[in-house]
Structure formats: C-alpha cells, structure tokens
Amino acid sequence: MQSLLNPLGPAAGEIASLAWLLFAGGGAILALVVLLALQAVFAPRAWLARPWFVVAGGVVLPVAVLSALLVYTVRPMRAMGGADARPAALEIEVTAHQWWWRVRYLGSQGQIDFETANEIRIPAGMPVQVHLRSADVIHSFWVPNLAGKVDMVPGRTTRIRLEADNPGTFRGQCAEYCGGPHARMALYVIAEEGARFETWRIAQRTPATRSNEVFASRCAACHAIRGTGASGQLGPDLTHVASRLSLGAGTLRNDATTLSGWIASGQHVKPGNLMPSFEHLPARELQSVAVYLSGLQ
C-alpha cells in the first residue's frame, strides 16, 4: 500500500505520528469552533464578544498551537534528512530525468560503483543516504512507506535517508508535476536481507558477457550496457535490465512479452516519453533485441 499512514521505516513512522496528531488536533479545534458558533447563534453569551476572549482565541491560542507544532516537526524532519548518530550503511545518487530515474551506487570514496535505473535496492534495517539531483526540471522523490517527500531541483543536491524495518518492496513516484508522462514516473525500493543484498550488489558490478548486433546499431546511442560497446547516456543503463521489476519507470511489469511490446510501441504504452517506438523494424530484429535484453540478468 503506497500510503504515509502505513509506515514501514523509522522516518515514515515519525511522519505518520505527526499526521495523526494533526488529524486529532484539527478535529478537536473544529469541534470547539462549531460548539462556540452554535452557542453564539442559539444561546448568545456576552463574553464571546469581549476583547480578552477575542485575543485569547484569535491570537494566543493559534500562536501557542503553531509554535508547539513547529517544535514537534523538527524531529521527523531531522529523521528524514538523516541527522541521526548512525552512519549510513550505503550511499546512493539518484538523478531524476524526464521521465525516469538514474540510480548510481557510490563507493567508499564517493566514486561510482555501478549504475542501474528506476529501482533502488537497499539492505533491510540499515540506514541508506540518498543524494537527489535533477537533470532537467523540478521533480520530487517520494516513497511514502519509508520517508517523506523531497524536491529535486536543477543545480542543487538534496538528501533523504531511507530505511526499511523489514524486507519488502515499496513503491515510490515523482510527486512534482514535471510535464508529459509525469504520472508514469514511478520507482521501486526493494529492501533485502544483508546477504541477499550483497549477492545482488556483486552481480550488478559484473559487466555483460555478450553483445547484440541489432542493439548496437539501433539502441547504443542512447543506452549503455557495461562490457559492450554500448555507452549511451540519454536513457537508462540496461546492463542488468532483466533483473528489474518494471519497465518504463514502473509502467509495465518486466517480462519477455512486455519487453517486446515496450520496444516496439513505447509511445503507445507511455505517451510522450523520449524513446521512439520501433514498429518499423522487422519482427525478427525486434525479437532479437527483446531476447537479448531479457537475458541480461
């Protein structure tokens, strides 16, 4: 369930507690105002119009309540930004593009370890620091089950800390309208047990062992596959694309059938995305690329 009221991480838990507090406080204040309004209409009381009551209800009470809320919100904001004593177990750089996510895992010195797209895998129960950037317009990174919402502004780096209490798959999305197929710009965060995550990380570092002639001639200008001559940077890195849950930034489930459809007619599936459809290619060439990519585990 993609909901901030279903927290599955420490930062999300703080935000959910704040939300419930606001719901309860807002409901109580609404009930009080309705009660006073009914009393003013049906049982007028002179004290309702006295200056001291107006000042108390219109100035003192709002200032006191809002000041208390301001202090209370510092804790969840600090938790979301990573201002706790524990060092991050992992650092990741996420760059938002129209309309997909470039994900780079960083080494101990801040160097790029490997690159993937539209999917973030993290070790469960461990804090992960995510550096957020935008390559074009303002985007917003939001995985509500794990943390709050942080804008991604061109020319700036913002940060968020992700941590999942237990293994699981959590859906996120761009929460700032960024034009075109914004509504189809999703991502998944997958939390795994430590050993399973390390196995995945080792596999991701491994380059591809074979290339494909059709892919090299038709797709390599935009996409990279490490270990081959394909080194395009306009689109997602496809080195291990078959291991990902989705295609088109959460648009389709990733399997051989949907992969063929996405290559042939991506503009019908996700209108406005920057990858052209390839319906004009011979069926055997389309099938060749789909089979090749579906083998890149």
DSSP, collapsed to helix, strand or coil, labels residue 253 as strand
The per-residue pLDDT for 80 is 61
Domain enclosing residue 75, as ranges:
10-81
Q: Are residues 127 and 53 in the same domain?
A: no
Last residue of a domain, one of 64, 81, 98: 81
The per-residue pLDDT for 81 is 58
Instruction: Read off the pLDDT band of 215 (50, 70, 90).
Output: very high
Q: For residue 113, give the CATH number of its domain.
A: 2.60.40.420
The per-residue pLDDT for 44 is 76
Provide the number of structural domains found in the chain. 3
Last residue of a domain, one of 204, 238, 272: 204
Average pLDDT over residues 107-132: 95
The per-residue pLDDT for 14 is 87
How many other C-beta atoms lie within 10 A of the C-beta of residue 75? 13
Last residue of a domain, one of 37, 60, 81: 81
Cα–Cα distance, 105 to 138 (Å, whole number) = 22
Average pLDDT over residues 240-251: 95
Cα dihedral 17, 23, 28, 33 in deg (nearest 10): 150
The per-residue pLDDT for 84 is 62
Average pLDDT value for the chain: 91
